[in-house]
Structure 1
Amino acid sequence: MSILNTLLALAPIITVFFLLVILKLSAKVSMAAAYVVTALLALLFWQASPAVVAAATVNGIIVSLTILYIVFGAILMLNTLKESGAIHSIRQGFMDISPDRRVQMIIVAWLFGSLVEGSSGFGTPSAVGAPLLLALGFPAMASVMSVLIIQSTPVSFGAVGTPLLVGVWSGISNKEDVTAAIAPQTVEQYLLQITGNVGLLHALVGFLIPLILCGMLTRFYGEKRSFAEGLKAWKFAIFAGIAFTVPYYLVARFMGPEFPSLVGGFIGLLLVVPAAKRGWFVPKETFDFPPRERWESRWAGIFDGKHMDDDDTPSFSVFRAFSPYIIVIGLLILTRVIQPLKAFLTGDMTTITLANLFGTPITSKVQFGYSPGTILILVAIACIFIFKMDINRFKRGWGDAGKTLISAAPALFLAVPMVQVFINSQSGDMSAAGALPAMPMVLAQSAAHWFSGVWPNISPAIGALGAFIAGSNTISNMMFSYFQFSTAQQIGLNTDLSSFVVALQAIGGAAGNMISVHNVVAAAAVVGLLNREGEIIRQTLIPMSYYILQAGFIGQALITGNIIWWGVAIAFPLIFFGIMSLTGKKA
């Protein structure tokens, strides 16, 4: 690939980053500009068919609607719990476990969020976890940052293994060269090998995510603005990291891709919550946010306010107040695990399909019955009976949810179509001289050409790029798994080692969710935080960079067996925490 092709393929990403992150413009302005740039490049330079650009745009709008549907359900759930008074009991229940905000964040975001990710995926942890942290008294910005950072380790096995079972599988199946290269293994056996490697790499990188969470919380939202203050919770954070990642890895290695995040989250909660109640590993000094009147205005969303702390609301038992979330998790698991029920909810009778839009191969599908949004809305309605709510209060919550949805819609209606055009930007006639593959593949091929000697270090970045663009680990794996396998073959890696390269793709694809624009927009919307997307991405870029760099170092060490790379992999977290501890004020 020529340098010009590469630079032009980078242009949409540079546009987003420059306008959103550097100039701090709103997502809707930044994504509008990025959409125009992407569409013009696709039409004029890539020679993509106008029908394909139109179909990709329409498909993006439809995908935006499905995301907004989930956002609406999450906001409705939050508003219903608030209007019923259950929020107060939930908040008190978590305060009874521990008043330390670092501990609360680890339990809600890392463990509960991983459990939700394992059952549903596709942004649901943000839709459920961010409002819950907000209800506990976290600033809206801190809530969004926390749930986005955990969109890493559990993501590869989210939605009962979809990123691997659908994403990686669709990339490597039905490929004659793959079948020949991995023989006598079958593709199914090779996928299980990749699954075990994904679990291992995520565990080795991800067990430190709770500690990074603590540091990020105190650095950006503590009175002292000190990363080091978060590290004082290192015993509890590492305990929580290991409590999740050990069962997670064992399930991935010996059982397959469906249940690692589910089992890891569940066992983690069983171990960590009782330990926190007993004060095991909990830091002696309790961390809390500054008084609300000293919060920076940019921390708060439209839902922030003293109404979250009111004491005159009805009082329920913690179990009864939390029961809607238990029902949501239960229904998510049932609809994903019981195959006849899943087949019905995803079948032709319950799926709206718009096939071959404008005569192109692009097809849109909407599955409202299978959507987490439907479950959230149904459980919110059930709250009327669970909490014996006044119907007028429920209607008020419904109206407030609708108003927030309208505010969030413009950014998503621009972000997702831009992504779809980017992904579908291949030349109309691929047999013609000078025909170009889609922009993401141009970038991947250029990276393979320039960095083949250290490809394991680069492989996670390609996965992250795909997820940043598409907002989905599954789609990133669809786009790049076969490319990663082919690159591994070209640089002379055998079957066992090539499975690590494909695994690194999945690792990076998971980490990229932390900075995906439409993930950020959706997560911010559920807590009423708008036009702060750039600042959120600037924060989540820090743990995302740690994740893909450390995964690359460990992957390079495992593949080459070089002791120097193992030294780098051991030293890098120490360097990372050391540098971050020097930022802000000293604790």
Structure 2
Amino acid sequence: MTWTQNFTPVGDNLALSALVALIPILYFFWALAIKRMKGYMAGLTTLLVALAVVVFVYKMPVGMAVMSVSQGAVYGILPIGWIIITSVFLYKLTVKTGQFDIIRNSVLSITEDRRLQALLIAFSFGAFLEGAAGFGAPVAISAALLVGLGFNPLYAAGICLIANTAPVAFGAIGIPITAMEGPTGVPAMEISKMVGRQLPFLSVFIPFYLVVIMAGFKKTMEVLPAILVSGVSFALTQYLSSNFLGPELPDILSALVSLAALAIFLKFWKPKSIFRFQSEAYSEVAATASVKQAAHTKGEVFKAWSPFLVLTAFISVWGIPSIKAALTGHYEGTNGLLKLINALGHQLTFMPEVPGLNNKIINASGQPIPAVYKLELLGAAGTAILLAAVVTKFIVKISWKDWTATFVETLKELKFPIITIGAVVGFAYVTNASGMSTTLGMALAKTGVLFPFFSPFLGWLGVFITGSDTSSNLLFGNLQKVTATSVGMDPVLALAANSSGGVTGKMISPQSIAVACAAVGLAGKESDLFRFTVKHSIFLIFLIGILTFLQSNVLSWMIP
């Protein structure tokens, strides 16, 4: 038995159908922002609401709907949940062995100012991790680092989510951009160029915006020189690399340049006053003295940072296309070592069909939609992080018994966040399989001459639903191209707008919220984090909408 997607199930009326399709999303907003449900309860009940809509309104067979949820839940556990477990585990190893105290003091030796620490770790280091690994790793690791430095957990998670806006479009070695080439037929390089003429404006603004959120406008102006060094160096590198090298390296290069530029700048420039949060009880004099007393040798500092250096090396290697192909059993080259890895990767990659769902749903083009459980055990970024944790065991000299006990402790701590992630990714999958997300996309595409403004909102909506800029680009890329052509908008601009708009939806995506809360020990407080980020997400998507509208109608010379 097959089932054909119907994007206008309510009386063949697109507007009414879109209103019905909005019900689960509006419910989720209500559950977190108003009702303040725990994350796993909000995720599970939103999933139930979505199932009711797809079964009773979209007439999707119950079996297909349930199996679609199972496909999403499995993806939520591997690779996404696996990244969170291993990231938090690695962080806990450094804490338990006392290495994180040395890391904290090494950062304080560069700057004790919380504003500048946020720029170094949340913005620059987080962007590097986004470029190398993507998924939840950047927020999980950088937020945990900030909490270790003394940041309030809610602030640490929120700041890292907002900081992650700048690099998301080029995350995981440029996958969000390169993935769009296939379904749209537009060269990835052209899309990369256009995104590189939108996001740098945001990349200059985000460091300033972050510090305003943390400290207010007056305190922000005190560190404006450092903010400019951080943001301008990142944005300029992002523009040059995206326009002349391609989509693979903008995040990694921009992050490294920004990190180095700010660290060097802070050797010659200091703010006139040290900013700390009001909740920090210790005095400036005492804090400075404690840092001086806790001075460490370069060797001790290098050892303390080694777990994260090893992590960076592993996830960077895992992101290299040829190695990624070998790790997942898809390498077709002649390199002997990669062929050996490919053989192992093939044995540890499982793609079983989803029973009752694979090729059972017919899309608008009359083509069956394949559905498989994607289990890449060796190729998952979480496995790279786990291997980094194995190497860390020998660096920090922790016993296997304590190493294992820490891992079990991490699993126990993260049980509810993993349930949350499984539920919200299951929700994303059933939304896509039923056609609900396409209904919403088609409704936004009816905005006519205002479509250039609303085009980024499609990407924002897609990332909110799926939690991924890549998934959003695959979901709405072709719709953006077709609609743009029909209203006289350049298709390359529309595709770039989908990706650029999507980055502002990442901070309110249910799975991103769950990941961030899990990383900083706020499981059950997802509603507080959602309330923290949602206003910033809406503000930033309006900025991208205005920029895209101007580029379409006034600044068309910016389109490649």
Q: TM-score, normalised by structure 1?
A: 0.82
Of 340-349 and 71-80, more deviation after overlay is shown by 340-349
Matched, 1:277 2:277: no
User: 1:485: which partner in 2?
Assistant: 481
Task: Measure, in 2, the Cα distance between the counterparts of 1:228 and 1:476.
Answer: 38
Amino acid at match of 2:271: P
Matched, 1:289 2:277: yes
Amino acid at match of 2:322: Q
User: 1:79: which partner in 2?
Assistant: 92
Q: Is the contact made by 2:317 and 2:323 (CA closer than 8 Å) also made in structure 1?
A: no
Provide, for residues 137-191 of structure 1, a one-character-per-residue CA deviation record: whole Å limited to 9, x for no partner.
Answer: 111111111211122221111110100111x123303xxxxxxxxxxxxx43xx3
Amino acid at match of 2:241: V
Provide, for residues 56-77 of structure 1, a one-character-per-residue CA deviation record: whole Å limited to 9, x for no partner.
Answer: 1111220121122111101111
Task: Measure, in 1, the Cα distance between the counterparts of 2:543 and 2:442.
Answer: 22
What are the ranges of 5 or more consecutive residues in structure 1 without an aligned counterpart? 174-186, 219-225, 295-308, 426-437, 567-587
The Cα shift of 1:314 comes to: 10
Q: TM-score, normalised by structure 2?
A: 0.86
Q: Secondary structure, in 3 states, of the residue corresponding to 2:414?
A: helix
Q: Is the contact made by 1:57 and 1:417 (CA closer than 8 Å) also made in structure 2?
A: yes
Q: Is the contact made by 1:216 and 1:230 (CA closer than 8 Å) also made in structure 2?
A: no
Seen in structure 2, the aligned counterparts of structure 1 residues 444 and 407 have a Cα distance that, compared at 3 Å, is closer
Q: Which of 220, 235, 244 is residue 245 of structure 1 equivalent to?
A: 235
Of 338-347 and 474-483, more deviation after overlay is shown by 338-347
Q: Is the contact made by 1:86 and 1:314 (CA closer than 8 Å) also made in structure 2?
A: no
Amino acid at match of 1:370: G
User: 2:364: which partner in 1?
Assistant: none
Q: How does 1:26-425 map to 2 (within 5 A)?
A: 26-66=38-78, 67-166=80-179, 168-173=180-185, 187-188=186-187, 191-218=188-215, 226=216, 228-279=218-269, 282-292=270-280, 317-337=300-320, 339-340=322-323, 342-347=325-330, 348-360=346-358, 361-425=370-434
Amino acid at match of 1:129: S
Provide, for residues 401-422 of structure 1, a one-character-per-residue CA deviation record: whole Å limited to 9, x for no partner.
Answer: 1211223223223222112111
Q: Is the contact made by 2:170 and 2:176 (CA closer than 8 Å) also made in structure 1?
A: yes
What are the ranges of 5 or more consecutive residues in structure 2 without an aligned counterpart? 1-12, 283-290, 331-345, 359-369
The Cα shift of 1:290 comes to: 2.7
Q: Secondary structure, in 3 states, of the residue corresponding to 2:374?
A: strand
Task: Measure, in 2, the Cα distance between the counterparts of 1:12 and 1:505.
Answer: 22
Provide, for residues 471-527 of structure 1, a one-character-per-residue CA deviation record: whole Å limited to 9, x for no partner.
Answer: 00000000101111111111023xxx2211110011011221111011110111022
Q: Is the contact made by 2:241 and 2:249 (CA closer than 8 Å) also made in structure 1?
A: yes
The Cα shift of 1:313 comes to: 13
Q: Is the contact made by 2:105 and 2:295 (CA closer than 8 Å) also made in structure 1?
A: no
Q: Secondary structure, in 3 states, of the residue corresponding to 1:99?
A: coil
Seen in structure 2, the aligned counterparts of structure 1 residues 378 and 107 have a Cα distance that, compared at 3 Å, is same
CA RMSD in angstroms comes to: 2.3
Amino acid at match of 1:466: G
Seen in structure 2, the aligned counterparts of structure 1 residues 250 and 516 have a Cα distance that, compared at 3 Å, is same
User: 1:430: which partner in 2?
Assistant: none
Seen in structure 2, the aligned counterparts of structure 1 residues 355 and 16 have a Cα distance that, compared at 3 Å, is same
Seen in structure 2, the aligned counterparts of structure 1 residues 445 and 561 have a Cα distance that, compared at 3 Å, is same
Q: Is the contact made by 2:43 and 2:420 (CA closer than 8 Å) also made in structure 1?
A: yes
The Cα shift of 1:12 comes to: 0.6
The Cα shift of 1:366 comes to: 1.4
Seen in structure 2, the aligned counterparts of structure 1 residues 207 and 312 have a Cα distance that, compared at 3 Å, is closer
Of 410-419 and 524-533, more deviation after overlay is shown by 410-419
Seen in structure 2, the aligned counterparts of structure 1 residues 521 and 359 have a Cα distance that, compared at 3 Å, is closer
Identity score, percent: 25
Q: Is the contact made by 2:71 and 2:354 (CA closer than 8 Å) also made in structure 1?
A: no
The Cα shift of 1:215 comes to: 1.5
The Cα shift of 1:29 comes to: 1.8
Provide, for residues 213-250 of structure 1, a one-character-per-residue CA deviation record: whole Å limited to 9, x for no partner.
Answer: 112223xxxxxxx4543343222112211111111110
Task: Measure, in 1, the Cα distance between the counterparts of 2:473 and 2:193.
Answer: 16
User: 1:580: which partner in 2?
Assistant: none
Seen in structure 2, the aligned counterparts of structure 1 residues 34 and 228 have a Cα distance that, compared at 3 Å, is farther
Q: Is the contact made by 2:235 and 2:254 (CA closer than 8 Å) also made in structure 1?
A: yes
Task: Measure, in 1, the Cα distance between the counterparts of 2:373 and 2:408.
Answer: 29
Amino acid at match of 1:62: V
Provide, for residues 303-329 of structure 1, a one-character-per-residue CA deviation record: whole Å limited to 9, x for no partner.
Answer: xxxxxx9x9999962111111111111
